[in-house]
Structure 1
Amino acid sequence: MKIVGKTDVGMVRDTNQDAFKILALGQGAGLALVCDGMGGAQGGDTASYIAKKVIAETIQEKYCDTMGSEAAKILVRESVLQANHAIYETARDDPELAGMGTTVVLALLYQNHAYVAHVGDSRLYRYRNHQLVQLTRDHSYIQEMVDRGELSPDQARVHPDRNFITRAVGVQWDVEIDLHVLELEPGDRLLLCTDGLSSTCTDEQIGEVLSQNPLEESAEILVRLANQGGGHDNITVVIVES
């Protein structure tokens, strides 16, 4: 298992409110995590930092290399809930951070499976057999319009309201978390990314990069493509190769 990550402030923003974490857990297991913070001048990077720290610490503390599938699902969910409570309590105690939150997409890589937790519009893609597939569904108003047939995916990618999300970690005491379990095959690549990439680059562009380049170069090229497309947001990518 190989994992690489890269984050970039982009061409417009003054600060980077994205965060990512790569964690080796031993015996081929690992964690890949991407967050996209939101909430004013300080709130966004505070929220994404707290999520990164709490999720990584929770998984590192409670991970066991003999746990079963159900325990792994419980662990990824618990890690996001712990982050949610930590962000919410921090914002409650500091008026300048009120309303802050973050997206989260993570994959706990364990025994040829990826245990995925997802909140917001950061995404997980899988590249397998020359095909790129988006495996998470954005929690956003624009995605709901796509689901109703009111927008095409290409229209959604450039819609002015594409950044309005319907779920975030830390905004309320409770949060609804999407969970997935993916069986991994040798050669699979997983891409975790913020919308700084997915709102700028098409699936065709992303798939082409993943198909033609080694892992580290793929991350570099994807960030460069997003910046060449305007770099309107922070850009973060984490790529896993099984």
Structure 2
Amino acid sequence: MAGPDAAAKRPHDGISLLGTTALLFEAPGETGLEVQRRIWSLAREAETWPEVREAVPGVNNLLVTWREPPRRLAPLADRLAAAWEAAPPLALEGRTVELPVVYGGEGGPHMADVVAHTGLSPEEIAEIHAAPLYPVYALGSHPGYCYLGGMDPRIATPRRKVPVLRIPGGAVSIGGSQTGVSASPGPSGWNTIGSTEMSFFDAARTPPALLQPGDSLRFRIAGVVR
């Protein structure tokens, strides 16, 4: 079988070759709900193509894998780019899940760093963090983890220069302009500001992940510990 053609090795702007059986499409423009809705739409379209094994939405991107290594990838990249231009926003009607969070204290060991960066008090940070209704853009990083949109830029805080080797499941963290909740223990470069006891992933549950793209998450202040 012939290898990928030269054009596919340097595909269109925003389309990258991953190995011999996958392409990563990165949407142009700023990250936002409208762009993400078009990503969901593109995923649904790509999944109908017979040569596609899987189309996985990410934040502002889409990973497409093929059932077999194609002889030429450039035509598939062309098709993906054309589908993006035609993709209408897809407004998924998902569930809203409320998540009680205790901010600060032992479960929020980096609250002081967010306070130092923003100049806000722990109570103000908790109130600002809990105010929006966060849309779930995509799942990734580890099973059940949700990439969320809509965090208030007033509490945006740079990721940590030295990652933490282990944070617990249920850790509520801020990384740059994003926020999220760890679904299982593991390393993290984000700033953990609180904790929750809700389980985001259970292999015995159908589906295993608590939330899906199109769902929404609302944080509820269960306490602020200094």
Query: Which of the five TM-score ranges fits, normalised by the shorter chain?
Result: under 0.3
| Greater percentage in helix | 1
Larger Cα-atom Rg = 2
TM-score by length of 1: 0.26
